[in-house]
Amino acid sequence: MNELSTSPVQDNSAPFQRLHPLSIILKSLGTLSQNIFAILILHFSLFDQNIVYSMLAALALITLVFGVTTLIWSRFTYQVTTREIRIKSGLLNRNNRSIPFDRIQDVSLEQKLVSRLLGLATVALETGSGGGEDGQLDALSRTDAEQLRDTIRDYKDGLNADRAEADDRPVTADVPPLFAMDNRRIFIAGLFNFSFVLLAILGALAQNLDFLLPDGFFDPRSWIDAFPEQDTIDGFSSWARIGGALAAILSLVVIGFGSGIVRTFVREYGFRLDRVDSGQSGFRRRRGLFTLTDMVMPIHRVQAAIVQTGPVRARFGWYHLKFTSLAGDSGGETDHSAAPCATLAEIDPILDDCAIDQAPADLIFHRVDPAFWWRGAIIASLLLSGIALVTGTFINGGFFAIILLAVPVSLISYLNWRHHQFALTDQQLFVRSGWWRRRLTILPRRKIQTIDVSQSPLDHPLDLATVTIGIAGGSAIAPLNIAAVPWQSAMDLRTRLFSWQNRT
Amino acid sequence: MSEHLNQTDPVTPVPGSPTGQYNQGLTPLHPPQKSLIRIGMIIRALILLALALAADIVLQIQLGVQPGMVLIPAALLAVVLVLVLPGRKYRRWGYDMGEEQLRVLRGFLWRTDTIVPFNRIQHIDVAQGPLQRLFGLSTLIVHTAGTHNSIVTLPGLATIDAENMRETIKDHIRQDMI
């Protein structure tokens, strides 16, 4: 360890540690499983199904992968000091990264199926600097990982002395969770998670695994041969044909619901949200069927709350609570899911914990200008009639029917307008948007970073404007905005939103 | 705030310059910025003309289209780009250093009016490109923690103004607001 002696900062004598040795096996298995197809392809093509050559190739691959992984493992060290974690990595290009605990947005432990068998856990640290995980320790033993997590969680600026006390505190496992989902609830959540992903996966599998299928599986001619003569189909009564079509639609619906339920179970199984109070108070979320994740997020990092629902879900009273923070959730989601399927009564206490209030019952929401929908409807109708005219004239008269699409498009933009509302209280800004994906964003005014008032060329004649609010976190593509507000009210709204500064 | 910043009275526009009406009476950018915008537009116009010329020749040879069918509209557009647009773009720019916030107004067709409170600013850059150096201009870039508007740029400041603004803002930056 030459690096240790040349290290410029040694504020702490904590040793540099390596990852758990079993992580070599874990990573090698991961790399090997990606390359198993290469061996299979070689086995069937170049080696002409000669098992000896294939075995030799496999052996060479395994040795190479294990060797390289071990080398990488031996060059990866980390050090946990009292205020930061330092990670040294890289075979040839050495990288020396230090992440101050102060800047860590959330810590999550992840255990894939293999890691669980080996008793390992991956620690992912997010600082919100963009671009995925900023520090990943893949992998530590479960106890080491938990200890590291607790060290970071219990860190308070300049207050490390009481950490020993915190360790002595009895672990209160019997505290009821803030929110948990039983299997029935997960099933309900799955019903609203209707998706065609499974269908897509089946399609992709069929395409990639076509060597398992009989010859000519994708050749339409073999299918036509297999089918009875066209005459027999023509011979069916029209009811039978309608029945066939219905059965096809029904099977799609079943697949859609089924895949939604399966996906939800895999992700949300054993969902449990707790409040942790050692060190900085925060939320701890555990979930997962195969891949267990265990995330801790300090409460003061919560920037905004999003209560999401849909037209059907809202009727049954189910809502999805999410928190926006600078760091994204695992799986590429921009917001942290805090309660995937909950009633408003269940959401209330969670919001209370992060000092965010639900909209009071008597709060008056303001609608935006009706131009929000009729302008969109007019533009869509013009566009559709253009397409209908061109295709109808030059291709087929039937294409004139495209213009009928203008009706549902206008209807949807009207519904979206009805559901785009905002309200302001002393502390918070409420913004509702979307008819199908209904979102209520609750933003504490002290978390506002910047405010834009912008006008597109279409806004000038109507003197409308869009108010866009910059928050730390959330989606960069679709930021929080209030569209189609008269320009003067937009300016007034901004002044009122910033008025907290003058009061405090 | 430095005297230099206040030398242009933002409320009463300079006689002969319509700037004040268009940027809501905010401080206009340093006048050489207009020339800089124009240079940018000239470059774009030249690229446009080159492309139009190529298209014109190809169409003439391949389809026998009358020469100038593409080039003449492109030339008209280029004239608008160089003569009309720089002035309009320039006078829509404006900024205001308030007590606690920076306001930036920009855009001719797509207009945006941004307010950044000083205590939300994470760090500040003062940047200068080679052309800007020629005109004695600088760009003030403030970084916020917001995902939207994580970078707010204000180009076309006199270098001394940009540096003074940086010093003013620096005093307001607080630690760890997120």
pLDDT single digits (tens) B142-155 = 988 888 888 999 99
Q: What is the pLDDT of residue A234?
A: 59
| CB-based contact A498 B107, cutoff 8 Å | no
Q: What is the number of residues in chain B?
A: 178
Å between A157 CA and nearest CA of chain B: 11
Q: Which residues are CB-contacts of A230 (< 8 A; sequence separation ≥ 6)? A: none
User: Tens digits of per-residue pLDDT, A319-352?
Assistant: 999 998 887 766 667 788 899 999 999 999 999 9
pLDDT given for residue A494 in this prediction:
93
3-state secondary structure of B121: strand
Which strands make up the sheet holding A438-444, listed edge to edge?
Answer: A336-342, A319-324, A304-309, A438-444, A428-433, A421-424, A366-367
Question: Is the backbone of residue A460 left (phi > 0), alpha (psi -120 to 50) or beta?
Answer: alpha
Record: contact A453-B113, CB cut-off 8 A: yes
Give pLDDT, residue A197.
65
Cα A165 to Cα A85, A157, A171, A275, distances in angstroms: 22, 16, 12, 19
The pair of structure tokens assigned to A337 is 């899911």
pLDDT exceeds 90 at position B1? no
Q: pTM for this one? A: 0.79
Residue A137 bridge partners (DSSP): A123
Integer Cα distance of A121 and A144 in angstroms: 9
- Closest partner CB to B147 (pick from A102, A470, A494): A470
Residues on chain A touching B88 (C-beta within 8 angstroms): none
Contact A241, A188 (CB under 8 A): no
Backbone angles phi, psi at A20, to 5 degrees: -65, 135
Give the three-class secondary structure for A111.
Answer: strand
B113 has a pLDDT exceeding 70: yes
Could you count the other beta carbons within 10 Å of the beta carbon of residue A293?
A: 20
CA distance A312 to chain B (A): 31
| Partner-chain contact B148 A476, CB within 8 Å | yes
Q: What pLDDT, in 10s, does the model give residues A445-459? A: 888 999 999 999 999
pLDDT of residue B43: 95
Å between B105 CA and nearest CA of chain A: 9
pLDDT for A70 equals 92
Chain A hits for B143, Cβ within 8 Å? none
- A450 vs B100, B111, B116: nearest CB: B116
User: Which ipTM value was assigned to this complex?
Assistant: 0.80
Q: Which are the contacts of B93, defined by CB distance < 8 A and separation ≥ 6?
A: B23, B28, B29, B33, B105, B106, B156
What is the rounded CA–CA span in Å between residue A219 and residue A233?
21
